[in-house]
């Protein structure tokens, strides 16, 4: 099973190197096939250039540009349109998530779960430098979510989770534009009856910069997402399940059509070459460039018009 790691990044040039180094070291050591898709969320510093420079030596890296307007949720959605693995993890750029927990969540997913939620508030969890006000709000909100949805998981607002591709595809189009995407993802999985595991994880407060999460601005957005999913569960759960399955089938059909078209094109090329074997050019390992210009003979992967640096999945 191939793993994709999505990291949204807005002005994170000081934090990204340590975050990338930790993930690369952990996944390479465990010989997990992976890619790291970093979504540049309209950064004004050297975040994007830093990633492009790293891609020359680390072919598992890719950069995707989230078009304006920015927003954590929009960046996540952009990444979810671009990843290529059988499973996908969402991690923060500020090194607050532990790469060892990524390995543990991925292994747990392989036991047959659709999603694995990381919890910062289980007995074996370690949390350092969590702002007291945000901690109080976090615990109150998560307690409310547990009561409303009658579930045992106690950190539904945490972004760090791992999903199977089929689970993400079954969620249908996501709409949250900011940090409220964290509960849109987790609660949407809950009401669809996905097989969910939760394991204790570690969390470390950022050492550089400030968090982009502003409680005063997010309250109404969290509330809107909560109300929407609550009433979906209460009133139209049957329709949600049907549409989820329908959306997943549509994506599978689109993927199969694309594969068939690629095979037909390869066959046509072979015929044009007089039956000779035709090998397509390899994907470029470093095709990202400033302002999205192509810098390689290898064609960049594109998703909805967004230039994507095509990484090579790391394999044994």
pLDDT digits (tens, 9 = 90+) for 238-253: 888 888 777 777 767 7
Query: Between 265 and 159, whose confidence is greater?
Result: 159
State residue 243's pLDDT score. 80
According to the model, what pLDDT value does residue 167 have?
95
pTM over 0.75: yes
Does the structure show a pLDDT above 70 at 173? yes
Q: What is the pLDDT of residues 57-90, one digit of tens each?
A: 999 999 999 999 999 999 999 999 999 999 999 9
Please write the tens of the pLDDT for every residue from 145-160.
Answer: 999 999 999 999 999 9
Band of residue 199 on the pLDDT scale cut at 50, 70, 90: very high
Helices (H), the chain: 16-29, 47-55, 72-82, 99-109, 132-149, 165-169, 181-191, 215-235, 237-272
Flag whether pLDDT at 275 surpasses 80.
no
Confidence of residue 302 (pLDDT cuts 50, 70, 90): very low
CB-facing half-sphere around the CA of 264: CA atoms within 13 A: 6
Ordered by where they begin, the domains of the chain are: 3-243 (3.90.550.10)
């Amino acid at each position: 099973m191939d793993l994709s790691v999505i990291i949204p990044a807005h002005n994170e040039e000081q934090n990204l190197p340590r975050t990338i180094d930790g993930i690369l070291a952990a996944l390479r050591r465990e010989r997990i096939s992976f890619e790291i898709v970093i979504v540049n969320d309209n950064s004004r510093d050297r975040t994007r250039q830093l990633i492009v420079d790293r891609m020359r030596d680390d072919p598992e890296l890719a950069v995707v540009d989230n078009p304006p307007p920015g927003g954590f949720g929009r960046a996540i959605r952009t990444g979810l349109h671009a990843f290529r693995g059988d499973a996908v993890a969402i991690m923060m750029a500020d090194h607050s998530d532990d790469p060892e927990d990524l390995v543990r969540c991925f292994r747990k997913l392989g036991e047959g779960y659709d999603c694995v939620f990381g919890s910062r508030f289980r007995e074996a969890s370690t949390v350092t430098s969590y702002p007291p006000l945000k901690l109080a709000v976090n615990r109150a909100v998560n307690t409310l979510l547990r009561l409303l949805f009658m579930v045992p998981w106690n950190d539904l607002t945490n972004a760090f989770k791992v999903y199977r591709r089929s689970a993400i595809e079954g969620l249908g189009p996501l709409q949250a534009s900011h940090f409220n995407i964290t509960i849109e993802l987790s609660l949407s999985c809950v009401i669809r009856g996905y097989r969910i595991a939760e394991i204790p994880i570690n969390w470390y407060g950022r050492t550089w910069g400030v968090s982009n999460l502003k409680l005063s601005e997010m309250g109404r957005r969290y509330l809107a997402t909560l109300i929407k999913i609550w009433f979906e569960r209460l009133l139209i759960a049957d329709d949600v399940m049907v549409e989820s399955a329908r959306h997943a089938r549509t994506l599978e059909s689109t993927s199969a059509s694309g594969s068939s078209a690629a095979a037909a094109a390869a066959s046509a090329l072979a015929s044009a070459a007089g039956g000779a074997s035709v090998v397509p050019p390899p994907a470029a390992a470093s095709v990202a460039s400033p302002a999205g210009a192509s810098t390689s003979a290898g064609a960049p992967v594109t998703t909805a018009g967004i230039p994507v640096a095509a990484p090579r999945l790391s394999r044994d």
